[in-house]
Amino acid sequence: MLATIGLKSEEDLISYLPSDVRFSKKLGIEDGKSEYEIVDYFKALAARNANGCASFLGAGVYHHYRPVLVDAVVSRGEFLTSYTPYQAEISQGTLTSIFEFQTMVCQLTGMDVANASMYDGSSAVPEGAMMAVRITHRDRVLIARTVHPEYREVLRTYTQHQGIPLDEIGYAKNGQLDLDDLKKKLSDDVAAVIVQTPNFFGLLEQVKEIAALVQAKGALLVVVVAEAVALGLIEPPRDADIVVGELQSFAISPSYGGPYAGIIATKEKYIRQIPGRLVGETTDAEGKRAFCLTLATREQHIRRDKATSNICTNQALLALMATVFMTVYGKQGLRELAEQNLAKAHYLAGKLDLQFDAPFFNEFVVRVNSPEKINARLLEKKIIGGLPLDRFYPELKNCMLLCATEMTRREDMDTVAAAFKTQ
Amino acid sequence: MIKKVSKHIVQNELLLFEQSSPGKWGYQLPPLDVPPVDAAKALGKDNVRSEIEDFPEVSEFEALRHFTRLSTWNYAIDLGLYPLGSCTMKYNPRVNELVARTEGLAWAHPYQPEALAQGCMEVIAALERALEEITGMAAVTLQPAAGAHGEFTGILMIRALLEERGGARKKILVPDSAHGTNPATATMVGYSVENIKSNSRGMVDVEALAKAVNEDVAALMITNPNTVGVFEENIRKICGLLHEKGALVYMDGANMNALVGVARPGDFGVDVMHLNLHKTFSTPHGGGGPGSGAVAVAEVLKPFLPGPRLKRAGNQWQWNYDLPHSIGRVRAFYGNFGVLVRALAYVMAHGGNGLRQATLDALLNANYLRILLEPHYDIAYNAPSMHECVFSDDRQAKKGVRTGDIAKRLIDYGFHPYTVSFPLIVHGALMIEPTETESKQELDLFADAMISIAKEVEENPDLVRKAPHLTRTPRVDEVTAARKPIVRWKRPAAAPQS
Amino acid sequence: MSYPDTYKYTKEHEWVLIEGASGTIGITDHAQHELGDIVFVDLPKAGAKVTQGQTFGSVESVKAVSDIYAPVSGEVTESNEALAKTPEKLNEDPHGAAWLIKVKLADPGEATGLMSAADYEQYVGAE
């Protein structure tokens, strides 16, 4: 091959580079390892993590069972190693499954259109906010303090240089959004109000009431869903204008924080303002149904500095995991899964001292003298306890957020309850 | 003659919703070990939904068959070459998939006690170190979820630094050859965008740049090697021009596959750059994502990195949230950890020497293709190609055939198209990047296909213009898809009673 | 397609028909041809103000977006609703039924600097 090019050695491929840019040392990285050594290395690292512990952590990342079919499907090379479906003729597999994904997200959330996924729930929040700003031509955004604290931080990072002032709405004594505080802060320049349900404390928000207040002022309601399994049982936020959220619960491994799959969904009339990739139905040259990426003129590769967002990628592989999960559970299964989550969490909650008095799904906040002490004792029994809330809510320093899912076992819940009783 | 593919029958398949049957299911949950709870009582009647209308109802096997059939309609790296420029479609090693699923890593919760997450934190630390070494930069963050996300992070940091120095300034310079994410990102950080022309060799016009740089300029976003696959030979001078006026240099690292082990951006003056782990570092594209956009910074930008940052305390890792100058988070938690595991496995498998060798192989493959194709297609710029080469369709356009048509005809030959019509500075661009993964056999098949198509353009242009002819799905009607967007399935209305 | 004599034209391929104090604005046949199949037209509502030389909307094909520049300044009195439902009309009849907006002119004198049909034909012939 070198001969064909007319070069003597591979080094000739870079010899023309200016000498003051060439890196002539050896990279300070160990020599290449064999497959066995690599597998062993990661096994050893994994062993330094929690292993074989039951966990009561939720807070935006949930331990749900992953049906075996999920990895069987996504491990197929045609899904795993394929590129973005820009060439519709040879990507109908990806395009069809994304179309199904978009449909199922609409069915779950009660919205009319959904995109092919966002990076994650946390970054979907500012995208939803910016959508509302574009649509209303207003610039202020209100966000509930009961939205996941790290999601709120991300919103701040995104809006700081776009001329979008942010305000937070407090929560009432019962842990739900404080409607009076909302009324007070709903000025005429508000583009969006962002609320999460179930909220970070696990409680259901009063979406209908909030929507009425928000929309009467000409603002848009953006509802965040961080625990997607809840949608199997709770009434979806049909009154929202935009729904954003996280699908990690749908067979996406917790994997220490990522990769996940965010969603953004909205009403039909806002379809041209939605960011990210969209798959649309059409026909091929023979008149048969086919799918393709569509409305690309919203996106960065065409609109450049006037794009709806700079986002390029979607989380296709993770969205596929979620699609398989939703298919395997199906209409009845997702409901039964949600019912089991509800039962497990309410069983445990029934034995503990709850901080808030409002309906909750699979997470709840308990009062505890010393969260650290309790968690230390639980760890001795190979149980990871809940999340002490003082790190995010200094006013709730004697509180802990606990989560129970279909994977939580009764014995472990009894152990937790006993530990709390003797504190 | 088409050598790489032959006819084959492929299964059809309906949508899930079209083959659902009430009462079918594919799951099985164990029985509850606690008393069931009445949802209406616990949540309030109005908060309980009725069924999820039209949600799929199929059996486990129907589900598996459905997705398997769909998969057979896709092209993939595992099937053959993707000559997509700037996408770096290299082999996605299977060992990466295995190690990412190691239970202690895959099930780790981001909020589990630090003492029980040391393995995960070590992965992050190890990859940060490796990428610092590869880029020659002072520090790396692995928080951004993708390349564009990394650009956003990088420009935010530039803005934060400039604000601390007295003023954010107003605009960002972007070469007209840049990827669309560059100007889109600049706008998201509140900057206006000014385009810089490329010269006759496809590189940034240094004179034009010198005229454009002033105290209103916050930064230049440059891709190196650039989007025509050519190394910016004046990069040191360019960085100097920006620095002199107190501006910074952001490097889009999408083309890093040409530089690993051969040149380090930190050494030639770049202040901040992103890497696409799903390009250079072999993590799978998965049909469009996930990615990971690691960002590397020079010393001067370290204080502004998104938090938290890893810090060593004795022989333990800890997360440090005390970062007064940090720009804040760009996403929840720590990064696309599952992707980081795969990237680290890739680095380990190659080692320092292997990484450099991979770069040289990538350059070799690209230059080999260039030599084979130059007699048949007009090379866009007369400068040495690095890991990709760019042609224009000028010669073929004389016969009424454009780059998009040639790309579609390439599909009939069993390949995925190269990058079409990008960068915009080349008239009718064909951007070709084979990567180091491809063997001479696969490259020869590709060159043969392209040469055969060039001949078809001369002798039978319509054949190329109306391609593809051999795919299961012919060209689709993108116009109607855009005019009347249908982005979800809806139950067809019941047929009217006659 | 011919270029009506009664219209005035811009370098950015817009046309304007001045009738007293009102103007009708559209894009030329050359423009729609360059764009290809048009899929969407983004126009301002009645009451919006347009300024000569500045963008007031855009036209999209599948793979491109083009800004539309106002040939004259004024206030929008009517927006062509038909284009929302059938953007393809803009490919079929850019000089007639697929006009974009009607405006109340701010300054009828502005149009004097624009090209005549003959000048415009030469301009696009030369491109």
- How confident is the model over B319-331, as a mean pLDDT? 96
At C1, is the pLDDT very low, low, confident or very high (cuts 50, 70, 90)?
A: confident
State whether residue B444 sits within 8 Å of chain A by CB.
no
> CB A272 to CB C40 under 8 A?
yes
Average pLDDT, chain A: 95
* DSSP letter (8 states) at residue A91: B
pLDDT score for B496: 67
CA dist B133 to A100, B122, B453, Å? Answer: 43, 17, 43
Residue to test with chain A: of C61, C65, C66, most A Cβ within 10 A: C65
| Arithmetic mean of pLDDT over chain B | 95
E strands, A92-189, are: 113-114, 140-144, 166-169
Above 90 in pLDDT, residue B435?
yes
Q: First and final CA of chain C: distance in angstroms?
A: 17
Interval A157-171 mean pLDDT: 92
Among A11, A33, A344, select the one facing B34 at the smallest CB separation: A344
> What pLDDT shows up at residue A300?
60
Predicted local distance difference test score (pLDDT) of residue B422: 85
Task: Answer whether B51 sits within 8 Å of A331, measured CB to CB.
Answer: yes
Residues of C with CB under 8 A from a CB of A: 39-40, 60-65
Q: Work out the average pLDDT over A388-394.
A: 96
Same fold for the pair A54-67+331-421 and A69-324? no
Counting as contact any 3 or more CB pairs under 8 A, the partners of C are: A, B
Indicate the pLDDT class of residue A174, thresholds 50, 70 and 90: very high
Q: What is the mean pLDDT of residues B254-268?
A: 96
Q: Please give the pLDDT value at position B178.
A: 87
Q: With beta carbons under 8 A apart, name residues in chain C contacting B482.
A: 39-40, 60, 62
Gap from C95 CA to chain B (nearest CA, Å): 21
A86 touches chain C (CB under 8 A): no
Contacts with A305 from chain C: Cβ below 8 Å: none
CA distance A142 to A167: 5
CA distance to partner chain C, nearest, from residue B402 (Å)? 14
List CB contacts (< 8 A) between A134 and chain C.
none
| B421 pLDDT above the threshold of 90 | no
The CA distance from B479 to the nearest CA of chain C, in Å, is: 6
State whether C65 and A272 contact (CB < 8 Å): no
What is the second-level CATH architecture of the domain A54-67+331-421?
Alpha-Beta Complex (3.90)
Query: What confidence tier does C90 reach under pLDDT thresholds 50, 70, 90?
Result: very high
Q: What is the pLDDT of residue A307?
A: 62
Q: Which residues of C touch A302 (CB under 8 A)?
A: 63-65
**CA distance linking residue A339 with residue A231, whole number of Å:** 11
pLDDT greater than 70 at residue A169: yes
Cα B338 to Cα A260, A271, B271, B288, B342: the distances in Å are 9, 32, 27, 16, 7
Predicted confidence at residue A305, as pLDDT, reads 62
Q: Which two tokens stand for residue B287?
A: 């049909």
Is 2.40.128.110 the CATH classification of the domain at C12-107? no
Residue B478 distance to chain C (closest CA, Å): 7
* pLDDT for res A419: 95
Q: Which of B402, B424, B478, B483 to mutate to test the interface with C (most CBs of C within 10 A)?
A: B483
pLDDT band at B118 (very low <50, low <70, confident <90, very high): very high
The CATH architecture of the domain made up of B358-482 is Alpha-Beta Complex (3.90)
Mean predicted confidence (pLDDT) in A392-404? 97
- How far is residue B118's CA from residue B319's CA, in Å, rounded to a whole number? 11
CB atoms within 10 A of CB B220: 25
* pLDDT at residue B266 is higher than 80: yes
Of residues B437, B269, B237, the one with CA closest to residue B349 = B437
Average pLDDT over residues A274-300: 90
User: In chain B, what percentage of residues exceed pLDDT 70?
Assistant: 99
Is the Cβ of B336 closer than 8 Å to some Cβ of chain A? yes
**H or E element, residue C68:** strand C65-69
A89-101 per-position pLDDT tens digit: 999 999 999 999 9
pLDDT band (50, 70, 90) for residue B184: confident
| Cβ partners under 8 Å of residue C119, min gap 6 | C9
Q: Which among B99, B268, B350 has the least Cβ separation from residue A42?
A: B99
Domains B95-348 and B358-482 in one fold = no
Distance CA(A257)–CA(B218), nearest Å, equals 33
Contact between C41 and C57 under an 8 Å Cβ cutoff? The reply is yes
Q: Report whether pLDDT(B127) > 70.
A: yes
| Per-position DSSP letters for B375-436, written without gaps between them | TTSEES-SS--SS-EEEESHHHHTTT--HHHHHHHHHHTT----EES-STTSTTEEEE---T
Report residue B495's pLDDT band, with 50, 70 and 90 as the boundaries. low
Taking an 8 Å cut-off on Cβ atoms, the answer to whether C40 and A302 are in contact is no
Residue B57 forms contact with A (CB below 8 Å): yes
A43 contact residues in B (CB cutoff 8 A): 102
Report the pLDDT value the prediction gives residue A346, as an integer from 0 to 100.
98
Q: HSE on the CB side for A39, CA within 13 Å?
A: 8
Residue with tokens 């298919």: A327
CA dist., res. B46 & res. A91, Å (int): 42
pLDDT of residue A347: 98
- Residue B184's H or E segment, with its range, is helix B181-188
Chain B partners of C61 at a C-beta cutoff of 8 Å? 479
- C61 to chain A: nearest residue by CA? A297
- Averaged over B271-278, what is the pLDDT? 97
**pLDDT confidence of residue A310:** 67
The neighbouring-strand residues paired with B107 are: none
**Do β-strands A383-384 and A387-388 pair in parallel, antiparallel, or remain unpaired?**
unpaired
A370 touches chain C (CB under 8 A): no
Count of H-run helices and E-run strands, chain B: 15, 13
Residues of chain B contacting A231 with CB distance shorter than 8 Å: 49, 52
**pLDDT category, B180, cuts 50, 70, 90?**
confident
Task: Render pLDDT for A53-96 as a digit per residue (tens, 0 to 9).
Answer: 999 999 999 999 999 999 999 999 999 999 999 999 999 999 99
Q: pLDDT (tens digit, 9 = 90+) per residue, A299-337?
A: 666 666 666 676 667 799 999 999 999 999 999 999 999
Two structure tokens written together for C23: 């103007």
pLDDT, one tens digit per residue, over B358-388 is 999 999 999 999 999 999 999 999 899 999 9
CATH topology of domain B95-348: Aspartate Aminotransferase; domain 2 (3.40.640)
Does B268 reach chain A within 8 Å, measured CB to CB? Answer: yes
Q: pLDDT band at residue B494, thresholds of 50, 70 and 90?
A: confident
Residues of B in contact with C40 (CB under 8 A): 482-483
pLDDT by residue (tens digit) across C22-68? 999 999 999 998 888 999 999 999 999 999 999 999 999 887 888 99
Domain residue spans of chain B: 16-71, 95-348, 358-482
Beta strands A220-225 and C14-19: pairing type? unpaired
CB pairs under 8 A between A and B: 635
Please tell me the CATH code under which domain A69-324 is placed: 3.40.640.10
Task: Count interface pairs A-C at CB distance under 8 A.
Answer: 16
Tell me which chain B residues have a C-beta less than 8 angstroms from the C-beta of A59.
111
pTM score? 0.95
Fill in the DSSP letter of residue A240: -
Question: Any idea where the domains of chain C sit in the sequence?
Answer: 12-107
Q: Are A397 and A389 in contact (CB under 8 A)?
A: yes
pLDDT band at A50 (very low <50, low <70, confident <90, very high): confident
Exposed, middle or buried by CB within 10 Å (0-12, 13-18, 19+), for A357?
A: exposed
Q: For residue A325, how many C-alpha atoms fall within 13 Å in the half-sphere facing its CB? A: 23
Between CA C47 and CA C24 the distance in angstroms is 15
Least CA distance to B482: which residue of chain C? C39
